[in-house]
């Protein structure tokens, strides 16, 4: 039986944040081959984490009186910003500029994690909104297992943007 800490949705997402940040720390010291391997690993880890948030966590909070819609939108736009780099790196993980791209991605993710975790952020909003965080955590575990199985069989499809229009050009 998983312990409550593992099924609680907020605890699970925070644990993911810690794992992602530890991998980015490792990337700072990594050589070329290691950069490629760790880069693919961290990009896929973030993709799965964002999918769990976008498919389950954010929708559970959206519309609740305790939810700040502007914070939810900001979070999803930060996801889009990260996905631009993630899709680019995963399309060609051995590319010449993978290391600086991953460096920027790491900085963006540290900022994004802070926004989700800080006072007034979406995690605290969810706790105050009375959402059943254990049921949500269980649903997330199930979805995570599906996505990991999909990843084991090959690559996950490129991440889709929420709001950022990648084809937009100024008039």
Instruction: CB nearer to Fe ion: give 30 or 87.
Output: 87
CB of 171 to Fe ion, least distance (A): 32
Beta-carbon contacts of 151 under 8 Å, excluding residues fewer than 6 positions away, are 44, 48
Q: Which of residues 3-62 bind Fe ion (CB under 5 A)?
A: 53
Q: Which of residues 99-128 bind Fe ion (CB under 5 A)?
A: 116
CB of 48 to Fe ion, least distance (A): 11
DSSP secondary structure, 94-113, as one string: T-TTHHHHHHHHHHHHHHHH
Instruction: CB nearer to Fe ion: give 36 or 116.
Output: 116
Return the closest-CA partner of residue 49 out of 78, 28, 79.
79
CB of 110 to Fe ion, least distance (A): 11
Return the closest-CA partner of residue 46 out of 92, 3, 4, 89.
89
Contact string (CB under 5 A) for Fe ion, positions 132-151, x = contact = --------------------
Instruction: CB nearer to Fe ion: give 36 or 53.
Output: 53
DSSP secondary structure, 54-104, as one string: IIIIHHHHTTSTT--HHHHHHHHHHHHHHHHHHHHHHH-TT-TTHHHHHHH
Instruction: CB nearer to Fe ion: give 93 or 121.
Output: 121
Binding site for Fe ion (CB under 5 A): 53, 116
């Amino acid at each position: 039986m998983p312990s409550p800490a593992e099924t609680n949705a907020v605890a699970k997402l925070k644990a993911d944040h810690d794992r992602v940040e530890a991998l980015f720390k490792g990337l700072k010291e990594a050589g070329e081959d290691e950069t490629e391997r760790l880069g693919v690993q961290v990009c896929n880890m973030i993709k799965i984490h964002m999918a769990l948030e976008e498919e389950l966590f954010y929708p559970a909070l959206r519309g609740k009186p305790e939810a700040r819609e502007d914070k939810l939108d900001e979070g999803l736009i930060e996801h889009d910003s990260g996905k631009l780099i993630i899709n680019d790196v995963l399309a060609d993980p051995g590319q010449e500029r993978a290391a600086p791209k991953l460096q920027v991605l790491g900085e963006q993710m540290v900022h994004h994690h802070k926004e989700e975790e800080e006072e007034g952020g979406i995690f605290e909003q969810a706790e105050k909104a009375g959402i059943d965080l254990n049921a949500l955590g269980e649903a997330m575990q199930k979805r995570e297992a599906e996505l990991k199985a999909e990843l084991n069989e090959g690559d996950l499809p490129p991440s889709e943007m929420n709001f950022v229009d990648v084809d937009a050009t100024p008039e």
